[in-house]
């Protein structure tokens, strides 16, 4: 089955740029979606189809996807961005959804 | 306003059954694929199952295939998950999520608040 690999944690100072990676075999050929989840809350879609932002998501959130790595970039990080972030794809070869293990973003 | 409200969770013994429901409102339910995603205590998200808008296509994670059945009643705007032969490892908060379109890609743009399923003797 398809596997997505994320770093367990990323730390960043306020105002700086955070980059969260999601690795997978030829992930560039798939559409990647990213979710933000804060403690006790349901996930929120922040990026879909690699780089599109849902309405209401700040422009500070952006995404890219190429080769074996997809990246969620959060610019001008704020304390409120502290959360768990998950990447996700639909694996058409197995007809199954796949989530990465999640990355805890800590704002220093 | 899009709303998804799950219900049906609770405590069940190993080997038992449970049916989850997800009542949808605020959008044309039959035009969107839907998914169930679960999260075990302190763990990450795990995709469980998905169904197309018409209900004609269903998909399952290997971990639940043959035990869980996803279905929908578009006349009642309700999504279901029938869970049989439950195991301790099925213990989790179960979320329903609305997809971006009729085709299943599991890009959940709206999620319910979740319902807790606990499998224990």
Provide the strand spans (E) within chain A.
9-12, 18-23, 32-37, 44-47, 61-66, 69-74, 83-91, 96-99, 103-107
CB atoms B45 and A90 under 8 Å: no
Question: For A88, which of B104, B106, B113 is closest by C-beta distance?
Answer: B106
- CA separation for the pair A16, A74 (Å, rounded): 8
Q: Is residue B91 scored above 90 in pLDDT?
A: yes
Q: Is residue B102 scored above 90 in pLDDT?
A: no
Contact of A93 with chain B, judged by CB distance below 8 Å, is answered with no
Contact of A106 with chain B, judged by CB distance below 8 Å, is answered with no
Task: Report the chain B residue with the minimal C-alpha distance to residue A54.
Answer: B109
Contact of A31 with chain B, judged by CB distance below 8 Å, is answered with yes
The pLDDT value given to residue B90: 98
Q: Is residue B89 scored above 90 in pLDDT?
A: yes
| Token pair of A37 as six digits | 């989840």
CB atoms B44 and A99 under 8 Å: yes
Q: What count of CB pairs under 8 Å joins A to B?
A: 64
- CA separation for the pair B45, B35 (Å, rounded): 12
Distances B82 to A3, A103, B2 between C-alpha atoms, Å: 27, 31, 24
- Best B107, B108, B109, B115 member to test A by mutation, with max A CBs in 10 Å, is B107
Q: State the pLDDT confidence band at B97, using cuts at 50, 70 and 90.
A: very high
Contact of A98 with chain B, judged by CB distance below 8 Å, is answered with yes
**With contact defined as beta carbons under 8 Å apart, do B31 and B53 qualify?**
yes
CB atoms A102 and B112 under 8 Å: no
Contact of B113 with chain A, judged by CB distance below 8 Å, is answered with yes
**pLDDT tens digits for range B40-68:** 999 999 999 999 999 999 999 999 999 99
- In chain B, % of residues over pLDDT 70: 100
- CA separation for the pair A19, A70 (Å, rounded): 10
Task: Report the chain B residue with the minimal C-alpha distance to residue A30.
Answer: B105
Report which of B108, B105, B121 is spatially closest to residue B39, judged by C-alpha positions.
B108
| Token pair of B106 as six digits | 């599991």
Report which of A51, A26, A59, A38 is spatially closest to residue A102, judged by C-alpha positions.
A38
CB atoms A96 and B44 under 8 Å: no
Q: Is residue A74 scored above 90 in pLDDT?
A: yes
Q: Which of residues 66-105 of B touch A (CB under 8 A)?
A: 95, 97, 100, 104-105
């Amino acid at each position: 089955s398809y596997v997505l690999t994320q770093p367990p944690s990323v730390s960043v100072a306020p105002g700086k740029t955070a980059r969260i990676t999601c690795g997978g075999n030829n992930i560039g050929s798939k559409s990647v979606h990213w979710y933000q989840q804060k403690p006790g809350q349901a996930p929120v879609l922040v990026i879909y189809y690699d780089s599109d932002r849902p309405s209401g998501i700040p422009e500070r959130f952006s995404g890219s996807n190429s080769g074996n790595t997809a990246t969620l970039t959060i610019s001008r990080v704020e304390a409120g961005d502290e959360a768990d972030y998950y990447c996700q794809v639909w694996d058409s070869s197995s007809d199954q959804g796949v989530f990465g293990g999640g990355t805890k973003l800590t704002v220093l | 306003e899009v709303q998804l409200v799950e219900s049906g969770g609770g405590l069940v013994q190993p080997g038992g059954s449970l049916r989850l429901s997800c009542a949808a409102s605020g959008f044309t339910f039959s035009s969107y694929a839907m998914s169930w995603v679960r999260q075990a205590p302190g763990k990450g998200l795990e995709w469980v199952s998905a169904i197309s808008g018409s209900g004609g296509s269903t998909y399952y994670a290997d971990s639940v295939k043959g035990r869980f059945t996803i279905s929908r009643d578009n006349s009642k705007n309700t999504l279901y998950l029938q869970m049989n032969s439950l195991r301790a490892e099925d213990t989790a908060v179960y979320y329903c999520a609305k997809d971006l379109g009729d085709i299943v890609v599991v890009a959940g743009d709206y999620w319910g608040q979740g319902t807790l399923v606990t499998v224990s003797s």
